[in-house]
Structure 1
Amino acid sequence: MAARDTSLSRAIGLRLLSVALFATMNVLIKLAEARGAALGEILFWRQFGAALLVGAIVGAGPGFASLRTQRFGAHVLRCVIGLTAMSLTFWTLLLLPLAEATTLGFSMPIFATVLGALVLHEPTGWRRWAAVLAGFAGVLIVTQPGDGHIPALGIATGLGAAFCTACISILLRTIGKTESGLTTVFWFSTLSLVPLSIAYVGVMQPHAPVVWALLLGIGLLGGAAQIAMTRSLQLGEVSLVVPMDYTALLWATIFGWAVFGMLPVVSTWAGAPVIVASGLYIVWREHRRRREETRGAIAQN
């Protein structure tokens, strides 16, 4: 029991660490862009730094032979969707304040529920559909369509990023059956460098030393956060660790005020709790469904 408690505590700690690292990375992204870095440069350095970090860990640990895969096509598809999600996420960060961009990202579980029902034909009762509707109502409260306080393009990129991230979560359910977390992260980072290198050639430019430091920091922080996030899922169930992601709004609010002198607007304060509550309920219902399926399988045997 003590060993299990330790494992669960490590899972929660790693997830909280990954959220803090991603939040810090988001600050560096906005600072780098404000100092002249293009989106294509930021994306390249994000993946380049992650590839270096993951490669070093694999080389010092299980070795590169452990990265062999029989699911290369699935990794390519994950790379395409992942790059789209990352591009939209970073674009949203450049268009919106940190708190609003982060809040829109919380709609991911809502899209994941819809996709799970439509694509994987997962049983979805009226309670989860009600949570989905409540979540979308929270999005409407935050964005206030037609009000103009949040740019329409920022809303579109934020929701598009959440949708693509939900698609990744569906895809990873199948990849994760045969591939380790480090293998998945490694192939995503390295495969994405092919198109990003081509794009980087077209946008690369000289920068002050502080900008190069910011770009390198984006890559290393992103890689470390991705590894911590992946490891947390290996040590604890999704229902245990995913709720920790909502601490991102706390970090976004603190950084937004301390670094950029901005606090969330009233509509964000009103809508964010609705979106968070919807996401937490969806995660809880998914945990109950899987537990009931496990019990049913055991009873049949």
Structure 2
Amino acid sequence: MTYAIAPVEERRLLGIALVLIGFLFFTLIDTSSKWLSGQGFPTNQVVFLRYAVHFVLIIALFAPRRGTALVKTARPGLEIARGLCLLGSTITNFLAISVLPLTVTGSIAFTMPLMICALSVPFLGEKVGWRRWLAILVGFGGVLIIVRPGTEAFHPAALLSLLSAGFTAFYMLLTRKLAGVDSAATQQFYSAAIAVACITPFAFHGWMWPSDPATWVAFFMMGVAGVAGHMLVSIAHRLAPASVIAPFSYFQIVFLSISSWLIFNQPPDVWIFVGAPVVMGSGLYIWLRERKLQKQLSAPIE
């Protein structure tokens, strides 16, 4: 049995609203992870909770309607590699979050578009001109402003955030390769299933149970927020072009800053206000440059 993909609609404002809510859910994942780490939960258990709840929800939502079609994939190797990249991104991100403010990890995470641009040359065969290479270098200069290596403010966990962004970049490149090959539901199934299969053997060492209502909420929030966030972002891309949605991803740093300040009493320092705009500006420039090049390629020849 095949399942038709919902048609594309032109409802840009709704698409923007949904993508912003989606990034709010992604912020809840990081916030819940940091909360659990602060309560003494081991990272292996936090990662397990993130994907176990996600996996159960995917099965409950899609298996009754899709049956075995949910697990059928035309590119199992790519699905496995993609799932491992997402797991690597989550593990390194959660380890960094446990010791660094959300504003720092969030700012470093915005190097991901820069990495995708750089990696698209060897992996997708795309051409990147000198302007975009310069933007990539400037963006990483912004990261140096935030983490300040060689000073007392530098924490080695910043390297974990950078590694997390690298895993995410590979994950996104593999997602591009799977576009039009497997459905979004199948991709979500494999990303959750692979993570659960890999982390389960280590999940129950030092297992803890929540001792207060707030921790119980965080206990289940990561998986719920993961499913909700991915679904909302997927729907948003059906309602509005990617070129319209892409810049709004940077609003997540606002959500992370609010969470970091109000929940963990870690307001952004002055270097975040200097470095983060450099990183985001570089990413926006690359997006604008790619959009311009795409328009030139699609322009009719007279």
TM-score after normalising by structure 2: 0.90
The separation in 2 between residues aligned to 1:289 and 1:180, in whole angstroms, is 29
Which of 32, 36, 46 is the equivalent residue of 2:40? 36
Q: CA deviation at 1:73?
A: 1.3
CA offset digits 1:21-50 (Å, max 9, x no partner): 111222111111111211111111111111
Correspondence for 1:257: 261
Residues 11 and 192 of structure 1: CA distance in aligned 2, closer, same or farther (over 3 Å): same
Amino acid at match of 1:170: L
The separation in 2 between residues aligned to 1:246 and 1:80, in whole angstroms, is 25
Structure showing the higher helix proportion among its residues: 1
Structure 1 window deviating more from structure 2 (220-229 vs 159-168): it is 220-229
Contact 2:36 2:218 in 1 (8 A): yes
Which of 6, 10, 30 is the equivalent residue of 1:5? 10
The separation in 2 between residues aligned to 1:168 and 1:294, in whole angstroms, is 27
Correspondence for 1:184: 187
Correspondence for 1:147: 151
The separation in 1 between residues aligned to 2:294 and 2:32, in whole angstroms, is 38
Which of 153, 172, 177 is the equivalent residue of 1:174? 177
Contact 2:9 2:238 in 1 (8 A): no
User: Percent identity among equivalent residues?
Assistant: 26
Amino acid at match of 1:5: E
Q: CA deviation at 1:17?
A: 1.0
CA offset digits 1:99-150 (Å, max 9, x no partner): 1110000111111111012322211112211211210111111111111213
Gaps of 5+ in 2: 1-7
The separation in 2 between residues aligned to 1:80 and 1:25, in whole angstroms, is 19
- Correspondence 1:51 to 2:55: yes
Gaps of 5+ in 1: none
The separation in 2 between residues aligned to 1:47 and 1:53, in whole angstroms, is 10
Correspondence for 1:247: 251
Q: CA deviation at 1:203?
A: 3.6
Amino acid at match of 1:159: L
Structure 1 window deviating more from structure 2 (200-209 vs 15-24): it is 200-209
CA offset digits 1:188-242 (Å, max 9, x no partner): 1112111111111324234425434321112111221122223333443332222
Amino acid at match of 2:240: G
- Correspondence 1:86 to 2:102: no
The separation in 1 between residues aligned to 2:20 and 2:169, in whole angstroms, is 20
The separation in 1 between residues aligned to 2:67 and 2:244, in whole angstroms, is 30
Correspondence for 1:208: 211
Which of 268, 273, 295 is the equivalent residue of 2:272? 268
Residues 287 and 179 of structure 1: CA distance in aligned 2, closer, same or farther (over 3 Å): farther
Which of 291, 294, 297 is the equivalent residue of 2:295? 291
Contact 1:19 1:248 in 2 (8 A): yes
Contact 1:181 1:231 in 2 (8 A): no
Matched residue SS, 1:149: coil
The separation in 2 between residues aligned to 1:177 and 1:155, in whole angstroms, is 35
* CA RMSD between the two structures: 2.0
Matched residue SS, 1:28: helix
Contact 2:100 2:157 in 1 (8 A): yes
Matched residue SS, 2:41: coil
The separation in 1 between residues aligned to 2:173 and 2:181, in whole angstroms, is 15
The separation in 1 between residues aligned to 2:65 and 2:292, in whole angstroms, is 36
Q: CA deviation at 1:286?
A: 2.1
Correspondence for 1:237: 241
Correspondence for 2:117: 113
The separation in 2 between residues aligned to 1:143 and 1:47, in whole angstroms, is 29
Contact 1:182 1:227 in 2 (8 A): no
Q: CA deviation at 1:60?
A: 5.4
Residues 12 and 103 of structure 1: CA distance in aligned 2, closer, same or farther (over 3 Å): same
Correspondence for 1:25: 29
Matched residue SS, 1:95: coil
Between the two proteins, the alignment pairs up a number of residues equal to 294
Correspondence for 2:133: 129
Which of 175, 198, 203 is the equivalent residue of 1:195? 198
Residues 99 and 133 of structure 1: CA distance in aligned 2, closer, same or farther (over 3 Å): same
Correspondence for 1:74: 78
The separation in 2 between residues aligned to 1:55 and 1:25, in whole angstroms, is 20
The separation in 2 between residues aligned to 1:28 and 1:249, in whole angstroms, is 16
Contact 2:10 2:240 in 1 (8 A): no
